[in-house]
Chains A and B, each alone.
Chain A
Amino acid sequence: MVKKLIEKDTKMFLTGNEVLAYAANAAEADFMYGYPITPQNEIMHTWCKLLPKTEAGFLQTEDEISAGFSTIGGILAGKRAFTATAGPGNVIMQDAQSMAEMMRIPFVCAVMQRGGPSTATVIYAQQETRLTCFGGNGEGFRIVYSTAGHQDLYDYMIKAFNTAWTYKFPTYVLADGYQGKMREPVMLYDPKSRGIEMVPVTPYLLGEGEIGKDRKSVHLRNTYNMEEELMEVLDQYQEDYNKMAEEVAEYQEYKAEDAEILVIAHGIVARSAVTAIDELRAKGIKAGLFRPITIRPLAVKPLRAAVQRAKQILFTESANGQLAQMVLEKLYGLTTPYSTLYKMGVGVTGDDIVQKVEQMVKTPATV
């Protein structure tokens, strides 16, 4: 059992990567497996620095392939294990992530997005949105929380463990290099003080009881012989996923109730949107925000309702519409026109959004 560091509410001034390490400890995570890649390194650094106090475990692996698979090994042993990665590391970790999907392993991973494709930049982007939701050779049986700052990082990292262990789908905290590297105040707390009980963890292998006496040996597999055999399994997964989505999907609205122009953004870009909306409102322009917090699964009903109320939509991302593609699919049948502000691998500022919305007021979107 790990030792928890935060017993009472503690306000700290930290980088996001530090926050994630503290959050994992608050969630009673036992073990981290990881491989260095910018901009997530300080999660590992902080985790390692805290080890003498937390008595948790850490393994620096030979690559992200191993980080992913050894995390699975730790989980099979019954540990609340996790990993973190970014960019090309996230790409090669998909191998393990798809195994976790297939075998319903409560894999928890923090993704600190950086520019892509390829090595690109080590700084920032929202270009791993699609990869994190739908990577691997499967159907995206995953849960992805997109955070917008340090309090989110703390809250949702704790939540990610419980979501993963409750529903047994791989669960992600999707952030980015800005959030990882930036420093802002955050309130750390013991989850218990917020009424959060950590979902108990149990081993998949070498659990209670003697083989041949109390129980049979466990045989976990990810290979099936027959097409129909596979479909039967996946149909059940889809049913479980749909049921889970009702309980897990989260979103945030900001002045969206009477918004004529509704900005749809996730993660840190949603924060720039809040800055912009305040400015636009001061100028008499009725702008509002719909921010999916779970970008997979999406909170479809409130999303459609907000879109239906608005006269125009603005999708803005530090990517070329990766979230928009997922959202548009859910808006089938609605006719609200939309415009886009995409900056691939570059931060979207409040000013960017203000200018774009002002332009939309003058020349409304037609698409």
Chain B
Amino acid sequence: MTQILTLPPSLPNAQNAEVGASKFCPGCGHGMILKSLAFAIDDLNLKQKAVFGCDIGCSLLSWNYMDLDTVQTHHGRTTPVIYGLTRANHEAIGIAYMGDGGGLAIGSQHLVNATVRAERMLIIVANNTNYGMTGGQMSPTTMPGQRTETTPYGRDCEVTGRPAKGAEMVAAIADPNKSYVARASVSNLRKLRSTFKKALKNVEMGGFSFVEVLSLCPLNWRTNNVDTWGRLAQMEECFEVKEFLVREGLEG
């Protein structure tokens, strides 16, 4: 008789074990980002204090992904829901999770103003350079020449402008004494986890954190495994991966 030994997947405590198989497309970056975030929450023991807000777009699928109190909001509106909450509950660690469309297009006024006011929260923008859920249209971060459904011949920067640099913009207007601003990538999950940890620590210290994460969208990119990672490498050239702003006294 053959016995098959199975081990349960190693899930962080802050991830919801009941959710079952991932609802994200195969090869999607969201799962990696969320898992790294959940580990960082575990590292800092924030599960009982964290509130997770998810945007509309592919990020909406994370509505029950975490074992955290969660609210799904509207497209671009996660940031105001979360700072509305953290203004009213000073204990809460607010996390607003969105894509590049939610963060840098439809919700950009909230991003700008939350940054300027140094709202006590972490904003995470998963940047996959397109609108995934609606079928792969151009987003603010679509790279020059990149083909999408609304730039079928490649993004022409003369017509549609240059890719939006979220982390650079936020760093330029953030309060250096209260903020942590970084860009990370799913190409280095260990680093991503430590970036989230630092960002959450800053929120615990009463500050504002912004982390843009370069992510993958093989379905809409129409890329195979090799090309997917090649595309991510291109993105890392276009969007510099580094810490842009680290408040004094904040350590990794």
The answer to whether A and B touch in the complex, with CB atoms under 8 Å apart, is yes
User: Which A residues form the contact surface with B (CB < 8 A)?
Assistant: 30-31, 33, 57, 59, 61-63, 65-66, 68-74, 76-79, 81, 95-96, 99, 203-206, 210-212, 217-223
Given contacts A57-B87, A77-B89, A96-B77, 12 further A-B contacts (CB under 8 A): A30-B88, A69-B74, A73-B81, A76-B51, A76-B84, A77-B86, A79-B89, A99-B73, A206-B48, A210-B48, A211-B47, A223-B72
Instruction: Chain A residues near B72: list those with CB within 8 A.
Output: 219-223
A65 to B110, CA, bound (A): 9
Q: Indicate if the CB atoms of B73 and A205 lie closer than 8 Å.
A: no
8 nearest A-B pairs in the assembled complex, by CB-CB distance: A73-B84, A70-B84, A73-B85, A62-B113, A69-B80, A77-B89, A77-B88, A66-B80
B37 to chain A, nearest CB (A): 14
Q: Are A62 and B73 in contact (CB under 8 A)?
A: no
In chain B, positions 46-89 with a C-beta closer than 8 Å to chain A are 47-49, 51, 56, 60, 63-64, 66-74, 77, 80-89
B contact set with A: CB distance below 8 Å: 13, 16, 47-49, 51, 56, 60, 63-64, 66-74, 77, 80-89, 91-92, 109-110, 112-113
The answer to whether B84 touches A69 (Cβ under 8 A) is yes
How distant is B188 from chain A, measured CB to nearest CB, in Å?
Answer: 29
Chain B minimum-CB-distance residue to A209: B48
Q: Which of B47, B88, B91 contacts A73 (CB 8 A)?
A: B88
Q: In the complex, which residues of chain A have a beta carbon less than 8 angstroms from the beta carbon of B13?
A: 212
What are 18 A-B residue pairs whose CB atoms fall within 8 Å in the complex? A31-B88, A33-B84, A59-B87, A61-B113, A65-B109, A70-B87, A72-B81, A73-B88, A74-B88, A77-B92, A78-B88, A95-B77, A96-B77, A206-B91, A217-B67, A219-B64, A221-B72, A222-B72
Which residues of B lie under 8 Å from residue A221 when comparing CB positions?
A: 63-64, 72
Residues of B within 8 A of A61 (CB): 80, 113
Query: Which residues of A lie under 8 Å from residue B81 when comparing CB positions?
Result: 69-70, 72-73, 76
| Chain A residues whose C-beta falls within 8 Å of the C-beta of B71 in the assembled complex | 76, 204-205, 220
List A contacts of B77 (CB < 8 A): 65, 69, 95-96, 99
Inter-chain contact A62/B89, CB cutoff 8 Å: no
User: Which of B48, B56, B88: most chain A CB closer than 10 A?
Assistant: B88
Contacts of B89 in A (CB 8 A): 77-79, 203, 206
Closest A-chain residue to B89, C-beta based? Answer: A77
Q: Which residue of the partner chain B has the closest CB to A81?
A: B88
Contacting pair A219 B84 (CB below 8 A) = no
Please tell me if the beta carbons of A211 and B83 are within 8 angstroms of each other in the complex.
no
Is A73 in contact with B80, judged by CB distance below 8 angstroms?
yes
* Docked-complex contact A69 and B63, CB < 8 angstroms: no
A71 near B84: Cβ-Cβ < 8 Å:
yes
Contact of A211 among B68, B74, B84 (CB under 8 A): B68
C-alpha gap A219/B15 in the complex (Å): 13
- Chain B CB count within 10 A is highest, among A30, A57, A219, A222, for A219
Q: Across the interface, which residues of A come within 8 angstroms of B51, CB to CB?
A: 76, 205-206
Residues of A within 8 A of B82 (CB): 73
Among residues of A, the one whose C-beta sits closest to the C-beta of B72 is: A221
